[in-house]
Amino acid sequence: MDEPLTRTLISQTQLDRPRGRLLYRTVLVLTVAGFTVVFLGPLYWLVTGGLKSTAEVIQNPPTLFPAELHPDTYATAWRQLGMGRLLFNTLYYAFGALALQLLFDVAAAYALSKLRPVLGNLILGMMLATLMIPAAVLIVPQYLTVLDLPLLHVNLVNTPWAIWLPTVANAFNIFLLKRFFDSIPEDLMAAAAIDGASPFRALCSIVLPMSRPILGVVSIFAVVNVWKDFLWPMLVQPDPANQTLNIGIKSLSMGVPQNVIIAALAIASVPTVVFFLIFQRNIMSGLTSGGLKG
Amino acid sequence: MAAISVAGKAARPTTHEGRLWRKVRQNLTAHGFLFGALLCFGFFTWYPMVREVVMSFQKTKRGKTSWVGLDNIDQLLQDPAFWQAWRNTLLFTLLALVLGFAVPFFVAVLLNELRHAKSYLRILVYLPVMMPPVASVLLFKYFYDPDFGLFNSILRALHLPTSAWLNSPDTAMLSVVIASTWMNMGGATLIYLAALQGIPGELYEAAELDGAGLWRRVWHVTIPQTRLILSLLLLLQVVATMQVFVEPFLLTGGNGPQGSTTTVVYLVYQYAFNFNNYGAASALGLIMLVVLAGFSALYVRLSRKAD
């Protein structure tokens, strides 16, 4: 599955010489081995660590293979840390955030790109300006806002809205979507309008079907961002029953045997890692097309 | 361009009033589509931005809020933790740049030269980025354990001196940076890789014909050709690494031995959520904003050039 060769730093003729070939083989083997140890090794340690006995985990020097297998550690971790609950919460937050982002951000980008309302450019500018504000700076006022929403005076803490709604205010998503919508020919929109299609109809039957790749990228990042977030869910979901995997494992890990925690960490890593392996092509392309401006 | 008609009466482009009404309706529809996002931006970014500035000059005591001018900033300047947090954050940023900037570039150049196992290696580099931070961080915490941790076991096996890692003020921050680099280097590597793939092969050929060796080709072709992306990522990384929170918070409980891993954002967190001093926390955030604004402005200028 390797891509066609283009000329890079080292030329093909150099590689074809016996010395070049030997050198290339050595570097390749070293790189593959090194990368496997450095990036896959810790994951291997995590999965096998969860299979070891409590004594073996803290044994010195550590063992490469578990002496005896204890798959029941995973069951213990699942029960003792309430992993099912944590997993469900995380999924619920991630996919709720995804749904709201798709709904509101797509609508906003569509309005800014195709309907062009009065003050549209000013609104887009104000949205993009928020990208310049370091996220950490707004944590305190954002938290106080969620605690007592202005005008409405509702407290969103311990409700999923505290996680869902702020994710909609994502200028990067809107920018990415708007840029993609801009590339959809104006003639198509005009033709739809002549046929009597309402703006909503045009969005559903022209814009959305053409935008599948960008919608995929936005969706993946929406889910992963919620899955990986730490500080915000820790602040706004203080009730243990509502916590995410990240926070739950951290706060429940005191006083639990190490092999159990390691098993819990392995369980927590599986969903995103599998998700990544399935969507790696989309993630990689999304990263290089839009990641730079993130 | 054909008139965009909205169904019904408004479609008749007759009188001046009809046109006006149509414009109003179009705008109402458009703003209807914008409504949800506008509301969220208003509540969760625009309003908090204003509030951040206002709170920096206020103090709240027993539910009563009063204006205190620059008192909050004054209080911060007198707090030794403030200076230590900035020193630590700058140290983290510096170390993270040396590791988190140079290592991904080297890895990207290496990956770009290899003709086999490309997708496998790319997937591996990005794998840690997808892991929940708690999993990666606690994993490293076990590796760093001075007694039974993997790192010291390897060092012992090689008959090298072991380290106290997170337990010593001298090595705590470096340990945090190593873990953080492992967790985050995938993103930068793939962006560099994309930039390297955009370099026209003829440039290397021409340089080779002129007798340029490997290092001179790196220096005179690879680096100039990727300079813009390198500098953009450098700025992005400065802005991101200066906001480091999760890694020290989980690895060392935030402060670390003798406050050696207290970062500015952790101090913001402490002021706000441990001391309930929202005023000082906001003022600290505002100082951070001012410091980072310079980098952000530079980033915007450069990325305009990149377009």
Question: Model confidence at A127, in pLDDT bands (50, 70, 90)?
Answer: very high
Tokens read off for A191:
């033709």
- Chain B contact for A122 (CB, 8 A cutoff): no
Q: Distance (Å, rounded) from C-alpha B36 to C-alpha B42?
A: 10
CATH number at residue B209: 1.10.3720.10
Q: Are residues B89 and B190 in the same domain?
A: yes
Mark yes or no for CB contact A284/B48 under 8 Å: no
Residues of chain A with pLDDT > 70, as a percent, come to 95
At residue A190, the pLDDT reads 86
Q: Are residues B4 and B141 in the same domain?
A: no
Domain locations in chain A as residue ranges: 12-75, 81-287
Q: Are residues B111 and B37 in the same domain?
A: no
Q: Distance (Å, rounded) from C-alpha A18 to C-alpha B220?
A: 27
Question: Model confidence at A1, in pLDDT bands (50, 70, 90)?
Answer: very low
CB distance A261 to B138 below 8 Å: yes
- Substitution target in B25, B38, B47, B134 with the highest count of A β-carbons within 10 Å is B134
Residue B186 CB contacts under 8 Å (≥ 6 apart), including other chains: B125, B126, B127, B128, B129
Question: Where do runs of H (alpha helix) occur along chain A?
Answer: 12-16, 18-35, 41-49, 54-57, 72-80, 83-110, 120-129, 135-147, 161-168, 171-182, 186-194, 199-202, 208-210, 212-228, 231-236, 245-252, 258-290
At residue A106, the pLDDT reads 95
Q: Of B249, B49, B224, whose CA–CA distance to A135 is shortest?
A: B49
Architecture of domain A81-287: Orthogonal Bundle (1.10)
B chain contacts of residue A258, beta-carbon cutoff 8 Å:
142
Q: Distance (Å, rounded) from C-alpha A84 to C-alpha B84?
A: 41
Flag whether pLDDT at A136 surpasses 90.
Answer: no
By residue count, chain B amounts to: 307
Q: Distance (Å, rounded) from C-alpha A74 to C-alpha A71?
A: 6
**Up-side HSE of residue A105: CA atoms within 13 Å toward CB?**
29
Residue carrying structure tokens 């403030």:
B82
How far is the alpha carbon of B140 from chain A, nearest alpha carbon, in Å? 9
Model ipTM over 0.90: no
Mark yes or no for CB contact B33/A140 under 8 Å: no
CA angle B126, B129, B133 (to 5 degrees): 155
At residue B6, the pLDDT reads 45
B chain contacts of residue A39, beta-carbon cutoff 8 Å:
124-125, 127-128
Q: Are residues B123 and B82 in the same domain?
A: yes
In a domain? residue B43? yes
At residue A150, the pLDDT reads 86
Structural domain count, chain B: 2
Q: Distance (Å, rounded) from C-alpha B251 to C-alpha B140?
A: 8
- Chain A contact for B87 (CB, 8 A cutoff): no
3-state secondary structure chain B: CCCCCCCCHHHCCCCHHHHHHHHHHHHHHHHHHHHHHHHHHHHHHHHHHHHHHHHHCEEEECCEEEECCCHHHHHHHHCHHHHHHHHHHHHHHHHHHHHHHHHHHHHHHHHHHCCCCHHHHHHHHHHHHHCCHHHHHHHHHHHHCCCCCHHHHHHHHCCCCCCCHHHCCCCHHHHHHHHHHHHHHHHHHHHHHHHHHCCCHHHHHHHHHCCCCHHHHHHHHHHHHCHHHHHHHHHHHHHHHCCCCHHHHHHHCCCCHHHCCCCHHHHHHHHHHHCCCHHHHHHHHHHHHHHHHHHHHHHHHHHHHHC
Tokens read off for B115:
């003709």
Burial of B157 (C-beta count, 10 Å sphere; 0-12/13-18/19+): exposed
Mark yes or no for CB contact B30/A198 under 8 Å: no
A:B CB pairs within 8 Å: 308
Q: Of B60, B215, B168, B36, whose CA–CA distance to A164 is shortest?
A: B36
- Substitution target in B12, B27, B33 with the highest count of A β-carbons within 10 Å is B33
Mark yes or no for CB contact B113/A8 under 8 Å: yes
B chain contacts of residue A140, beta-carbon cutoff 8 Å:
52, 55, 268, 272, 278, 281-282, 285
Taking residue B236's Cβ as centre, other Cβ atoms within 10 Å add up to 21
Flag whether pLDDT at A290 surpasses 80.
Answer: no
Q: Are residues B102 and B160 in the same domain?
A: yes
Nearest by CB to residue B135, choosing from A62, A166, A269, is: A269
- Chain A contact for B231 (CB, 8 A cutoff): no
CB distance A172 to A131 below 8 Å: yes
Q: Are residues B15 and B146 in the same domain?
A: no
- Chain B contact for A13 (CB, 8 A cutoff): no
Q: Are residues B172 and B249 in the same domain?
A: yes
More confident residue, A231 or A20: A231
From A30-44, A71-85, B293-307, the region with the lowest mean pLDDT: B293-307
Q: Are residues B30 and B161 in the same domain?
A: no
In a domain? residue B204? yes
In a domain? residue B63? no
In a domain? residue B266? yes
Residue B200 CB contacts under 8 Å (≥ 6 apart), including other chains: none
Tokens read off for B103:
């290592």
Average pLDDT over residues A174-184: 90
Give the structural domain span for B112.
73-306
CB distance A145 to B54 below 8 Å: no
More confident residue, A98 or B25: A98
Q: Are residues B19 and B78 in the same domain?
A: no
CB distance A189 to A121 below 8 Å: no
- Chain A contact for B205 (CB, 8 A cutoff): yes
Q: Are residues B150 and B39 in the same domain?
A: no
Average pLDDT over residues A261-265: 90
Tokens read off for A274:
């599998």
A chain contacts of residue B150, beta-carbon cutoff 8 Å:
45, 62
At residue B14, the pLDDT reads 54
CA angle B30, A221, A201 (to 5 degrees): 30
Mark yes or no for CB contact B205/A7 under 8 Å: yes
Q: Are residues B170 and B302 in the same domain?
A: yes
CB distance B256 to B248 below 8 Å: yes
Nearest by CB to residue A246, choosing from B1, B132, B142, is: B132
Q: Are residues B232 and B286 in the same domain?
A: yes
By residue count, chain A amounts to: 294
B59 pairs with which residues across the strands?
B66
Positions in chain B short of pLDDT 50: 1-11
- Chain B contact for A23 (CB, 8 A cutoff): no
From A14-23, A228-237, B113-122, B160-169, the region with the lowest mean pLDDT: A14-23
**Up-side HSE of residue A49: CA atoms within 13 Å toward CB?**
29
Taking residue A209's Cβ as centre, other Cβ atoms within 10 Å add up to 9
Nearest CA in chain A to B42: A169
Q: Distance (Å, rounded) from C-alpha B19 to C-alpha B3?
A: 11
Q: Distance (Å, rounded) from C-alpha B105 to C-alpha A131?
A: 25
